[in-house]
Structure 1
Amino acid sequence: MAVFRKIITRNIKKWGKGFFSVIAVSLVTAELISIAVIELGLIAADKPNYLIPGLRPFWVNRNPDFGIWHEPDVEYVHTKSCFSVTYRTNSYGARDRMRQSHGKPSRVVVIGDSFIEGYGLNREDRTTDILESETGIEHLNFGTSGHFGPTQSLLLYKNLAKRFHHSIVLFGLLPDNDFTDDDPAHANSYPNQYRPYFVEKNGNYVLEYANANQRGILERDFRREKHRFFNRLLRNFTYTSNAVNYLRRLYGFNQSRLKIGGKASASTYSGYYDFTQKQAERLIYVLEQMLNEAEGKIFYVLVIPRPADMRTEPSPLISILNHLGEEHEKLHFIDLRKWFASQRRWTDFYRDCDGHWSPAGARSAAEALLAEPAYRRFLRLD
């Protein structure tokens, strides 16, 4: 009997060593493959930054009015294959230098998503900082990443940015994903994310929140962040975790587009052309609500193209926006697509690793605004 137990024990140890050897080899192989595909730019996943994460993340899903925002007074190192930058927030959570609410009335409040925030850019390379440096007029940056749609920008302006004295509002519209970010039919693309949507009911739009049970429960958010610490640790120290997270998000996004009959490929979809009538109607409603909140201030919409948008045929989106501008005296539009197309090597305006603006792209956007006669007139530059 003792001999039999020894044989069983020896076999278990042997099998255990073999099992763990297979696991170890598999993990190492997965890491090597992930290193290759990320470093070669085959997928736009983050790179590990080899920093111990804190319990306070940079982007948090906590604001009761508009959902995702930045934690105040936080520093975050963001690393991908084509950039490594440090983000810092001020006391009210904006990625910007500290601003006084009672500043000069000629200031510009800037709202929008990751292109406005300056995703992957040093602060001095962002469009808003270039505009401020060139004009001497403050451009307060309230942009944020996190699939931040026009409805969220409206609510951010209404509940936060509007408190700061200003005379002009500049809103960055990204057709590439702003239609889907604002569409309740796409809510499943952002599981567990607290998000506002305007839902059409009986001919009216009603503001509703996805995952509303998370609203304003700060203590639970902190507990959840503690549970997420291990996941962030893996992302900060392994390529594999970043590759898996990227592919999972991409799969969810494409599945959502397929379910509602949209285009599945992120490389062929163009928000300048491929939106639905309901999505267009919702955007018009949100823009008109922004105008109401601006209370007679000059309101500029900066339409931001992605490479898939750079076509020559007329865009139905621009036609809609031009018609809307004719109905509202204070509403103005600048389509960067036309400006970019006139520049040499406009393809250099986008990062190879994720499609956001390079420093050259952000600067060209600033130059487009500075070349706009009406914008210069409103800023009293001429």
Structure 2
Amino acid sequence: MIIVGVFWGVILISVTVFLILCPGKRRSILLLISSLLLVLIVSETVLRIYYPQIRNEKKGFEYNKLLGWTQGPNKKLYISLTGDGISRLIETNSYGFRDDEFVVKGNEKRIMVLGDSFVSNYAVDKKDVFTEVMESRMKNTTVMNLGVNAYSNVQEYLLLKQMIYELKPDLIVLMIYIRNDFYENTGVDFGTSLRPGAVLNENTSEVILLPTPDFQSIGTSEKSFWRIYRKSHLYQLLTKRLRQLQYNLERARQTIYRPTKDIPPELYLCRKELTAEVKYLYKLMEQLLLMIAKFADEHNTQIVFVVAPSMVQVEDELWLSILETYKERSEDYDISQPNKGLVKFAKNNSLHMLDLLPYLRLEYAKGIALYNRKEQHWNEAGNLMVANALINYLSAEMK
């Protein structure tokens, strides 16, 4: 934000100087330019304060050849989620996770929780994150939060392989976020990060892991996150609107319903008739889950997969507004389809899986707000509900 501010400040000062020095028509032209610049600056400022288009969930993270990025050990990071009026200090332990130091007594059960920002959950105080709530309510149990913002299931698997020997968990909980894990498992990042990915062997359906691209080897033109205009909230808003227009044009040509930046993933994941590209994403997810479960079994550790729905899946009004915006028909969709598919697959393959969608929808039907409106992650009430659902599931299903 400072870099962008300096950039626009230098431009405006330069134009002002030219206005003073240049008479006549040149002055009129420069006056027009300066007025446009002022409008841009004001628009950018308003967007940053009231309608932010860029999330800073990876702010302060470090490039990592194996995992893509890490939060870094013993860090203190001030996070501001301006859209929801949330500001707080985020601290990591010596392992680089948003948790206290992992100190386990000899008789305590160890639960390792892996996931993305729904696990690290910067939007609430640390004491309100569902892992902390679980730990406070479960006897003789340490719940270790290994959540890292924007991680895919591939990254979580690689992190598990790295940490299982040191932390020696008795139980693993791995969170699947419906909205973006499907496409991020391929290594795609519609943001600005480099991440490892996975593909399927065409003949055997075996998962082939793809390494993180080398940061030093990519061309200057590809290092887009260093470009100032990419950091502009106004630029991001305009590109979103252009992609929405592109979506409507492609819809007329029947070439949509695939992963596309800024298009709600529910429009391709929850469609009753899936495209071949999306079916592949489902298949890749399923094979990844089998691979992760096999690894846990080889290390004599139980694992539970938890399906975290998007806010769009929970709140009917939000889903209907998306259908209206993109001119889609509700009868062509089943908003719970990805969850149903994963639960069915888990049952057929003897995997332990908890789908949070029914629990969240039940609470929302009571008028309880469970998500932060702009940031779209669980608030305190959402975290409490998730903690209760997990505790009940583990008590009933895991011995």
Question: What TM-score, normalized to structure 2?
Answer: 0.71
Q: 1:205 to 1:102 in 2, by over 3 A?
A: farther
Q: Gapped runs of 5+ residues in structure 1?
A: 1-8, 48-55, 218-223, 236-240
Please identify, of 349-358 and 199-208, the stretch whose mean Cα deviation from structure 2 is larger: 199-208
Which position in structure 2 is the counterpart of 1:32?
42
1:67-86 equivalences in 2 (<5 Å): 67-79=68-80, 80-82=82-84, 83-86=86-89
User: What is aligned with 2:374?
Assistant: 353
Structure 1 residues 242 and 313: alpha-carbon distance in aligned structure 2, compared to 1, 3 A threshold: closer
Equivalent in the alignment of 1:341: 361
Over the residues paired in the alignment, what is the CA RMSD in angstroms?
4.1
Matches of 2:121 and 2:348, distance apart in 1: 32
Deviations 1:79-131 (A, max 9, x none): 12311121111122112111148865611000011111113222111111111
Q: Percent identity?
A: 17
2:347 aligned partner, one-letter code:
E
SS at match of 1:121: coil
Q: What do residues 186-235 of structure 1 show as CA deviations (whole Å, max 9, x unaligned)?
A: x263455133323434433321135x2238x9xxxxxx9xx95x969x97
Equivalent position of 2:171 in the other structure: 168
**Segment of structure 1 superposing worse, 346-355 or 247-256:** 247-256
Among 299, 305, 308, the alignment partner of 1:304 is: 308
SS across alignment from 1:142: strand
Deviation, 1:291, is: 1.2
Distance 1:28 1:170 in 2: 50
1:254 & 1:114 partners in 2: Cα distance? 30
Moved more, 310-319 or 150-159: 310-319
Instruction: Summarize the Cα distance change of 1:190–1:45 in structure 2 as closer, same or farther, 3 Å threshold.
Output: closer
Between 241-250 and 134-143, report the one with greater CA deviation.
241-250
Query: Normalization by structure 1: what TM-score?
Result: 0.73
Q: 1:66, 1:196 within 8 Å by CA — same for their partners in 2?
A: no
Measured at CA, do residues 253 and 110 of structure 1 come closer, stay the same or move farther in structure 2, by a change above 3 Å? Answer: farther
**Retained in 1: the 8 A contact 2:104–2:110?**
no
- Partner letter of residue 148 of structure 2? T
Tell me how many residue pairs correspond in the alignment.
Answer: 341
**2:78/2:87 contact within 8 Å kept:** yes
What is the DSSP-based 3-state SS (H/G/I as helix, E as strand, rest coil) of the residue aligned with 1:160? helix
Question: How is 1:211-226 mapped onto 2 (pairs within 5 angstroms)?
Answer: 212-214=213-215
Higher relative contact order (CA 8 A, sep 6+): 1
Q: Which runs of structure 2 are paired with 1:171-210 in the superposition (5 Å)?
A: 171-183=174-186, 187=188, 189-191=190-192, 193-203=194-204, 204-209=206-211
Contact 2:67–2:155 (CA under 8 A) maintained in structure 1: yes
- Aligned-pair distance for 1:180? 1.2
Q: Is 2:263 aligned against 1:262? A: no
Q: Any conservation in 2 of the 1:117–1:143 contact (CA below 8 Å)? A: yes
